[in-house]
Structure 1
Amino acid sequence: MIVQRVKSSQVTVNGEIIGKVGWGLNLLVGISQTDTDAELDFTVRKCLELRLFSDYEGSDRWQRYVQEIKGELLVISQLTLYGDCSKGRRPSFDRSAKSILAILAVDLYNHFVDKLRASGLKVETGEFSAIMSVKIENDGPVTFILEREAK
Structure 2
Amino acid sequence: MRAVIQRVTSANVSVNGDLISAINHGLCVLLSISRNDTQQDMDYMVNKILNIRLFDDEERNRRWAKSVKDRNYEILCISQITLYHTLKGNKPDFHLAMQPDLSRSMFDDFIKQLKSAYIEDKIKEGVFGEYMSVNIQNDGPVTIHLESPLPKVGDNKS
Tell me, yes or no, whether TM beats 0.5.
Answer: yes
Give the aligned partner of residue 114 of structure 1: 112
Give the aligned partner of residue 94 of structure 2: 93
In 2, Cα distance between equivalents of 1:17 and 1:60: 36
In 1, Cα distance between equivalents of 2:81 and 2:55: 28
Total equivalences in the alignment: 146
Pairwise CA distance, 1:61: 1.1
Contact kept? 1:35, 1:150, Cα under 8 Å: no
SS in 2 for 1:51: coil
Give the aligned partner of residue 51 of structure 2: 49
- From 18, 21, 30, the equivalent of 1:19 is 21
AA aligned to 2:129 is S
AA aligned to 2:127 is E
Query: Percent of pairs identical after alignment?
Result: 40
Give the aligned partner of residue 154 of structure 2: none
- Between Structure 1 and Structure 2, which shows a larger proportion of strand residues? 2
2:83 matched to 1:81?
yes
In 1, Cα distance between equivalents of 2:32 and 2:51: 20
TM-score calculated relative to the size of structure 2? 0.88
Deviation readout 1:10-38 (Å, 9 max, x if unpaired): 00001000010000000001011011110
Pairwise CA distance, 1:116: 1.1
RMSD: 1.4
- The range that moved more, 114-123 or 132-141, is 114-123
Pairwise CA distance, 1:96: 1.2
AA aligned to 1:111 is D
* Structure 1: runs of 5 or more not aligned: none
* Structure 2: runs of 5 or more not aligned: 152-158
Deviation readout 1:94-145 (Å, 9 max, x if unpaired): 11112xxx22211110111111111115111100010000000011111111
Moved over 4 A (4+): none
Give the aligned partner of residue 133 of structure 2: 133
In 2, Cα distance between equivalents of 1:75 and 1:26: 6
- The range that moved more, 102-111 or 23-32, is 102-111
AA aligned to 1:94 is H
TM-score calculated relative to the size of structure 1? 0.92
SS in 2 for 1:61: strand
